[in-house]
Structure formats: C-alpha cells, structure tokens
Amino acid sequence: MRMSKMFFKTLREDPSEAEIASHKLLLRGGFIKKSASGIYSYMNLGYRVIRKIEQIVREEMDSHDAQEINMSAVQPRELWEESGRWDTFGPEMFKLKDRNDREFCLAPTAEEFFTDLIRSDVNSYKKLPINIYQIKTKYRDEKRPRFGINRAREFLMKDAYSFDKTQEDMVASYKNMWEAYENIYDRLELDYRIVRGDSGAIGGNESHEFTALSDVGEGVITYCDSCDFSATDEKAEVAYNYDNSNEDIKELEKVETKGVKTIDDLAKLLKVDKDRCLKAVDLMVKGERIVVFIPGSRELNLTKLIKHLGCAEHEIEMMGDEDIKSMGSFPGYTGPIGLKADRLIADERVKNIKNAIIGANEENYHYMNYNISDNEKFEFVDDLLMIAEGDVCPKCGGKLEFKRGIEVGNIFQLGQKYSKSMKATFLDENGKDEYFWMGCYGVGISRTVSAIVEQNNDEKGIIWPISSCPYEAIVTIVNVKDEEQNKLAEEIYQKLLAEKVEVLLDDRAERAGVKFNDRDLIGIPLRITVGKLASEGKVEYSTRREMENEEIDASEAINKIIAYIKERKNNRG
C-alpha cells in the first residue's frame, strides 16, 4: 500500500479519555475510531490486525474439527425466555422491538441460538460430535465500558459450541478446544496463563480462562509456586483458618465505639485482631434484605455469593440507609442480635471465631464476646471469601503468586444446562432420548488486539509481533523530491510485493521526522529507510523492536526481510 493513497490519520497527542497504553496507541495510531462510549470502528490498520487474528483462530478451529457458520446477530426474545436468560442477562442486553412489537436482542453471546439450531437439525447420536463456531460482533451494554476495545459495548468474539452424546465425549471436546486455544495464543506470541475460572452467567461445571498477563488487566489470577493450582481470584477457594476456639467463652458486653467507621478503627479501638470483628455486608437482592457476615479482615466474594443465591449479578445492590434502619439497625453498626433481616448468611469459618465483636444495631455501639457457633438463624456457606495476597494455596499450602491479566478467551463445560432448559435431545444408541452434552468456547478477538498492544509497546508506540502486525514491512522515502530515492524505494517496494510481503511504502510528501514518528507509532516490524545513500544502492535496515540501523545494500535488506518472515512462519509450529 502506498501511504500517499492510504486513508489514515495519526494523532500527536494522547487522547484525554484513554487511560491505558493500548487504548492510547490504537487511537493515536489511527487503528480505531470512537463513535460512542464503548463503540469503536476499525480503520485500515486496525482491521488488518483483526483479520490476522481471525485467520489464526480460524486455522486452529478448523484443524480441530470445528466448522465456521455465521448466525444472525438479531435474536428473538422467545429463545432467551426458554433458557431464562432474557431476564438474568439484565441491563447488559441490548433489546429492541420490530414494527409489530416483536422483541429481539442484539446477540451478547449465542448459546441459545446454537442449541436451537442443533435441536432442530440433529436427532441421532450418529451425527455427533459437532463443533460449530462463528466470528461475529457481539453487543453488551456494559456497566463500565473502558479501556477502548478492551471492554467495549460492541466487540468481536469467536464463539464455538460443541455437542456431544456423553459427558466423557464433552470432556474430550473440551480438551480438544483447550489445545486449539493454546495454539492460538502461542501463535499470537502472548504471555498468558490458563486458570480455572468462574462460569458466571453462562453456568455449567468446569471452565478455564486464558489470561494475557498485564498490569492493567481487570482480572486477578493466582497460582501456586509448588503445585498446579491456578484460578481467577473470583474462583479461587480460600484457605482461611483463623481459629481462636480454644478461648473460654466470655460474657456478652455492649461497648461504646463512637466515631468508628471501619473495621480497622474498630480493631484498633478495642485492641483486637481484625479477624475477631465480624464484618456485616448489607445487601438488597430482589427485594430481600440479606446480611452476610464474614471475618473482618476479609472481603466478600460476590461471585461465590451469587452462586449460592442463584441470582444474577445485576440483582444485587448495596442496602440503602433506610433499608438498614428498617431491619432495626443503623448504617455501619449492623450485627446479628435482634436483626430483622430476611436472610442471614455467614461464611462457615466464622464459627471458629470465639468472643467476636459485632455491631449492636445502634449508632456508636458494638457488642464484644458474641458467639455464633451453630446459630440456626444463619445459612452457613462453605466459602464466601475473596482470596488475598498472603493466603496460602488451598490445595497444597504452598505460596501463592498473584498477577493481573486480561481475559482473552475462555472455555466452558456447559453439561446439559442449555439442552435441558431448551429440551434439546437426540436418540442415543439405545433409541432413548438424551440431552446433548455441550461446551462453549470464546475468544475475544478485539480484546486480544488490546492485550497484544499492552504486551508490546514502548514510549514511541506499538511493537507488533509478526503474527498480528497490520503490515510486515515499511519502506520510508526520506525525501520524495529526490529522484534516486524514489526510484530505489519503488524497486524495493515492487520486489517485496512480488515476494508477497505485506508492505507499506511511505511516499507521502511529509517531513522525514513525521514519517519516522508515524512508523514508530504504528509499529510495523521490519523497516527500510531510503535516504541519502540511495545513489550508492544502500539503505538503512532496522526492526521496530531493536531500532538499530544497519547501512546495507538494498538487495541485502530485501533478503533480510524475506528471511525474517520465512523463519517466523516456519517457527510457528
């Protein structure tokens, strides 16, 4: 592509709304354009990156026996009613009506749609297994769209669905996709970890997330340095073992705690461990006042609570002051004694806390020496805690490492969740109706672009790996008014094109400095600069990552580029 003819515009300054490197650089480099909050369009450079990633995903899916189809993005309400997700998806779903008032949504994902397809067309075990996928724009009205295409409201996802006749076969399909995903993220040259995840709104049994390591990632993953334990922080079991149960039970005592705002203040004032103070979390869930008690040193894990309650995330709200007062309590002083909540829930392990400190449901007062033991007012739940730095491995007691990451893909064993709710059956080998065993597998194609940029940039711009670069090489003419420079650059450009190298020719009538800055910003991996040495047939050759210039013959520079690309392609395994 001749850049003099290319529709593209780079920005000098960082756009003010962009907080992270990938968001800034993709906007500045003219890869994407914002049209509304969380809604982006792709320009030439950005769309080429998307297509490269799509191609890698396609090749790996196809070589793992999956077939690509393309389902409509507009889906009827009725299908979502069958699975119960029309409501549980909540405000994240973009809903619309046609002129006859029939309701639809813009697909946020497609489990229902694919299940419906298979239940109507597949009736015998003989046709199984089936694995079908699409690469399709998804729509989610995210509560907090942020970081550009990292958490967008319109984004590109590859979603695959497998249908098997037995649970065993489902697990085999899962492993097959696991392997495809390892190949995909290896080929994309990402530094990633595979961790056990939460099944969230999708539901089901086992799931894993593929997480690209990045300090700006919204997800936290934890893994053990001595065994194979690894999980997202939402999923990780917490080995919490504070236990003072050998203490003698003391008498309940009301104490004044004026001005105490936090558990820290409370523990300091009463000179006790934070673990000994019960933290009350006041929640409103579908009109029910639910109070959850956990040890004061810990945070509530909402994902685990949601699983216990069987509700959707958007149905949980913090209780307002008036609701707290309606339980006969006072904000900041909620405690179990005499509390008129609709449900009292506690992490099982608070039973081991003797002589605990609790709110007295009265402003400025707490009780000391409360003993919960097996109080039947409580629903005890095995584990409601968020894992935290310093916790030991729940599997082997080893040391846990914590890292931030960007979830770029995930795989789920859905089991028969959707096939049962949607009555999707086939005839098994004995002629009996059986529900399909399903799995689903997502790759966030557009989010992957931002993860790659997060892992590959410097102060000057993006450094694309060869596997996902918009163009492999760029030939820059320092002075387009110079005949010799133009002639040599043109020759090089033609030769590279003939070798099927994806090459840009910067033949714009711009100052050299502008061209060099743009070149660094858009991060083309292999570079040839045609300048003053053109009369001797020499050029400067450099790579974007190393940025070291070599003055060599034009033919040698061409050969280097061809060899580099060939070697990388051969190495991709």
Quote the CA–CA distance of 528 and 542 in Å, as a whole number.
Answer: 7
234: contact with ligand ATP by CB under 6 A = no
Residues of this chain, 188-227, that bind ligand ATP according to CB under 6 A:
200
The one among 104, 155, 181, 436 contacting ligand ATP by CB under 6 A: 155
Instruction: Give the span between the Cα atoms of 38 and 154, in whole angstroms.
Output: 7
Q: What does the alpha-carbon distance between residue 34 and residue 153 come to, in Å, rounded to a whole number?
A: 12
Q: How far is the CB of 412 from ligand ATP (least distance, A)?
A: 8
The burial class, CB within 10 Å (0-12 / 13-18 / 19+), for 482 is: middle
- The window from 7-15, 250-258, 406-414, 464-472 that contacts ligand ATP (CB under 6 A) reads 406-414
Give me the phi and psi of 348, to 5 degrees please. -45, -35
Cα 212 from Cα 195, distance rounded (Å)? 11
With binding defined as CB under 6 A, does residue 23 bind ligand ATP? no
Q: How far is the CB of 407 from ligand ATP (least distance, A)?
A: 5
When asked if residue 306 is in the footprint of ligand ATP (CB under 6 A), the reply is no
- Map residues 426-465 to x or -, x wherever contact with ligand ATP holds by CB under 6 A: ----------------x-x-xx------------------
With CB under 6 A, what is the number of residues at the site for ligand ATP?
16
Q: Give the shortest CB-95-to-ligand ATP separation in angstroms.
A: 17
CB of residue 389 to ligand ATP, shortest distance in Å: 21
Q: Which residue is nearest to ligand ATP (CB)?
A: 444
Number of C-beta neighbours around residue 178 at 10 A: 16
Q: Is 410 in the site for ligand ATP (CB under 6 A)?
A: yes
- Closer CB to ligand ATP, residue 109 or residue 230? 109
Residue in 59, 141, 142, 186 binding ligand ATP, rule: CB under 6 A: 142
Question: With respect to ligand ATP, which residue has the nearer C-beta, 148 or 531?
Answer: 148
Q: How far is the CB of 271 from ligand ATP (least distance, A)?
A: 41
Helices (H), 319-392: 321-326
**Beta carbons of 75 and 81 less than 8 angstroms apart:** no
Q: Which of 111, 282, 347, 407 binds ligand ATP (CB under 6 A)?
A: 407
Q: Which is nearer to ligand ATP, 232 or 467 (CB)?
A: 232
List the interface residues with ligand ATP, window 109-128 (CB under 6 A). Answer: 109
CB of 363 to ligand ATP, least distance (A): 39
The amino acid sitting at 66 is A
Nearer to ligand ATP, 146 or 343 (CB): 146
Q: Examine residue 148 and tell whether it contacts ligand ATP (CB under 6 A).
A: no
Please give the Cα distance from 234 to 217 (Å, whole number): 14
Instruction: Tell me which residue of 465, 452, 462, 438 sits closest to 409, measured CA to CA.
Output: 452
Nearer to ligand ATP, 37 or 167 (CB): 37
Q: In the bound complex, what is the minimum distance in angstroms from residue 36's beta carbon to ligand ATP?
A: 14
Torsional sign, CA 387, 390, 395, 399 = positive
Cis amide bond preceding 129, omega within 30: yes
Residue 560 CB, nearest approach to ligand ATP (Å): 36
**How is residue 139 annotated by DSSP?**
E
**Residue from 129, 405, 409, 531 in contact with ligand ATP (CB under 6 A):** 409
Q: Is 419 in the site for ligand ATP (CB under 6 A)?
A: no
Among 3, 21, 45, 152, binds ligand ATP (CB under 6 A): 152
> Is 400 or 408 the residue whose CB approaches ligand ATP more closely?
408
46 binds ligand ATP (CB under 6 A): no
In the chain, the amino acid numbered 115 is T
Among 552, 539, 195, 133, which Cα is nearest to 400's? 195
Any contact of residue 359 with ligand ATP (CB under 6 A)?
no
CB of 61 to ligand ATP, least distance (A): 15
Contact 486, 476 (CB under 8 A): no
In the complex with ligand ATP, the residue whose CB is nearer, 407 or 507, is: 407
Which residues does 226 contact at the CB level (< 8 Å), separation at least 6? 393, 396, 398, 399
Supply 383's token pair.
């584990």
Residue 460, class by beta-carbon neighbours within 10 Å (0-12 exposed, 13-18 middle, 19+ buried)?
Answer: middle
Q: Give the number of other CB atoms < 10 A from CB of residue 121.
A: 9
Contact 421, 415 (CB under 8 A): no
Q: How far is Cα 135 from Cα 184, in angstroms, rounded to an integer?
A: 14
- Residue of 151, 187, 235, 276 that binds ligand ATP (CB under 6 A): 151
Strands 473-477 and 103-106: unpaired
What is the binding site for ligand ATP (CB under 6 A)? Answer: 109, 140, 142, 151-152, 155, 157, 200, 407-410, 442, 444, 446-447
